[in-house]
Amino acid sequence: MPPPNPLRDIPRYLAIFQSYIGARMYLVLALTILATLAEGIGIVMLLPLLKAIDGFDSGETTGVGAALQNILDRIGIADSLLGLLLLIAGFFLLKGAFMFLAQGYKAYLRGQLMRELKGRMYDDYSRMSYQYYASRDTGYFTNLINAQVQHFLTAFTSIIQFSAKTLMAIVYIGVALVVAWRFGVMALVVGGLIMAAFGVLNVYVRDLSRRSAAEASVLSKLMIQSLQSFKYLVATAQGDKPRKQTLKSIHRLTGYEIRSGIAKAFTSSVREPLIVVAILAVVIVQLLWFNQPLAAILVSIVLFKRGLDAILQMQTTLQATLSKIGSVEKVQEEFERQRQVREPEGGIEIGPLEEGVRFESVSFRYGADQDTVLKDISLEIAHLQSVALVGESGAGKSTLVDMLTLMLKPVAGRILIDDVPADQIRLSSWRRQIGYVAQETVVFNDTIANNICMWAGDTSSDEVLMGRVREAARQAHIAHFIESLPDGFDTEVGDRGMRLSGGQRQRLFIARELFKRPRLLILDEATSALDTESEQEIQKSIDELRGKMTVVIIAHRLSTVRNVDRIYVLDQGRIVEQGDYELLRNDESTRFAQLVAMQEL
């Protein structure tokens, strides 16, 4: 079975690019054709120019030469050397203008394509299902949206150049066929043989590109994991272990790049010798066997050289395209996959929470081949009530909260929000009402003020906004610390808040959610990173929220749930008990009482 010919896939690749920026990409090719035609006419104008030079053997004027002579006679410059030179210069200036327009518009389209790709990918990632997100690592996503998209853009530039060179070759050879058909035929034969000879190399380069795109994702994952674990790896002197894996990936990736570079070097190095040898062979054939006049030979040589050079540049640009085509395929596959894993949502825009949330016989598992994580869960979270979910690690508390935010969908049963089934709700209308303080703090590399208000406006000029920021900070018991800093609320916190302590990051996180004034506040181990004094202060803030908003608390420290309205005790994915704190604690037979006893409360 013959190897696949990448040339056959060029229309498919062009269709991919066209799906993002439309048919306007072909305007670049139209301008290129006009530029090439202008240059071709300028070259053919050498025939009457050479005839106008005294003593130059131009042979009998026939064919295209005669047609040109008639046109120039009508214009009145057939015998004017200066007029002919100016006309030729005009055609080449016209060629330059068309090429400028083509190259400039190509740069504009590349920018438009980058905006379309990155914007669409960001939007797709913001709408993908949580389960798909959890099945991938951060390196996978960052590699795609940065490195692979950049290679996608390079491939776009290369394939446009390839298409342009193809059209240029066709125009040059077409003109050569008109001027001296034997030259045109020879150019076609030589060009076809060259492209066929490079066919195997093209298949090899495309295979390297696909391997390189896959390996880049692996390397991105390893690099990000190492950077995120920097403190731990350095503190425990374990950096050598991930370093070995990273270096192996680097060696594989550089190996692919080196081999691709060698293939490119080979193509570039043989281009000029091939052109020279082909021209010499054609001149010898024309002079010895066909006895062509010198003027026609010289003009045909120029056209032949231009056509052959365009064919060889076709190979160079095709190779450049194929060296990045793995990224094009990877990005395209990701967009197609995103259409399949997008979060399904309904069309009902729900208003502010008024009645509450109800789970009716809800079950959930992460995959068809995995165990059920939540089993027949029925519970109610009434409006303006505080509810605690307690149980040992792995009991299903965090999974239940993920279902409360509609990040996960039940495999059985249903969830109702104000009596509206969750699968009929427009997700954003519900999630805008949620404040969520997770176990892992989310802090942005920006000022404290912007971290609290999430860029809701300019806090330096909006006094009302700044007042809300300060109030949220006071509620989270971090205002005193912020005001003691030299830059106060304008202090930059660093990447992931690394300039703050763990407790300060947690309180900043809480301040952001309180600033939001949510209808439902979820606290997932919100006080786990705080010292005892800070925990008590935060607990006061939480207690003050009773009756003002609906609160759901996940807690291992059972002292933090003393004042909630209702406690649900989970064990191995089931609700085994429910009631208020005193009721459950005072009954020594309950699972909750056993948990309290273990914490010596």
* pLDDT bracket for residue 59 (50, 70, 90): very low
Run of H or E including 413: strand 412-417
* pLDDT bracket for residue 10 (50, 70, 90): confident
Query: Residue 52's pLDDT is what?
Result: 64
Q: Once rounded to an integer, what is the mean pLDDT over residues 146-167? A: 88
First to last CA, the chain: 76
Instruction: Give the chain's mean pLDDT.
Output: 82
Query: What tokens does 586 get?
Result: 């005072």
Q: Once rounded to an integer, what is the mean pLDDT over residues 382-394? A: 89
Most confident range, picked from 242-251, 260-269, 417-426 = 417-426
Tell me: pLDDT of 96 over 80.
yes
Tell me: pLDDT of 1 over 50.
no
Local structure of 57: helix, strand or coil: coil
Indicate the domain borders of the chain.
6-341, 348-433+558-601
Tell me: pLDDT of 502 over 90.
no
* Least confident span in 115-124, 273-282, 449-458: 273-282
Query: Residue 395's pLDDT is what?
Result: 86
Query: Residue 62's pLDDT is what?
Result: 44
- Helical H segments across 128-239, by residue range: 130-134, 138-142, 149-179, 181-197, 199-228, 230-235
Tell me: pLDDT of 268 over 60.
yes
Q: Which CATH number is 348-433+558-601's, of 3.40.50.300, 3.30.565.10, 3.30.465.10, 3.40.50.2300?
A: 3.40.50.300
Tell me: pLDDT of 600 over 60.
no
Rg of the chain's alpha carbons, rounded to an integer? Answer: 36
CA distance 488 to 481: 9
Query: Residue 226's pLDDT is what?
Result: 79
Instruction: Provide the β-strand partners of residue 374.
Output: 364
Query: In this structure, are residues 110 and 152 in contact, taking their beta carbons and an 8 Å threshold?
Result: no
* pLDDT bracket for residue 317 (50, 70, 90): confident
Q: Is 6-341 in CATH node 1.20.1560.10?
A: yes
Q: Once rounded to an integer, what is the mean pLDDT over residues 56-75? A: 61
Query: Residue 601's pLDDT is what?
Result: 46
* Least confident span in 83-97, 138-152, 283-297, 524-538: 283-297
* Least confident span in 14-23, 228-237, 545-554, 561-570: 228-237
* Least confident span in 9-13, 87-91, 159-163, 291-295: 291-295
Q: Once rounded to an integer, what is the mean pLDDT over residues 560-580? A: 89
* pLDDT bracket for residue 51 (50, 70, 90): low
Q: What is the pTM of this model?
A: 0.74
β-pair type (374-382, 356-364): antiparallel
* pLDDT bracket for residue 505 (50, 70, 90): confident
Say if residue 2 is exposed, middle or buried (CB neighbours under 10 Å; 0-12, 13-18, 19+): exposed
The one-letter code for the residue type at 342 is R
Tell me: pLDDT of 60 over 70.
no
CA distance 430 to 350: 7
Local structure of 579: helix, strand or coil: strand
- The percent of residues above 90 in pLDDT, for the chain, comes to 25
Query: Residue 156's pLDDT is what?
Result: 92
Q: How many CB atoms lie within 10 A of CB 85?
A: 14
Q: Once rounded to an integer, what is the mean pLDDT over residues 453-468? A: 91
User: Could you report the per-residue pLDDT of 421-439, keeping only the tens digit for each?
Assistant: 999 999 989 999 999 988 7
CA distance 410 to 361: 10
Query: Residue 430's pLDDT is what?
Result: 93
CA distance 371 to 396: 12
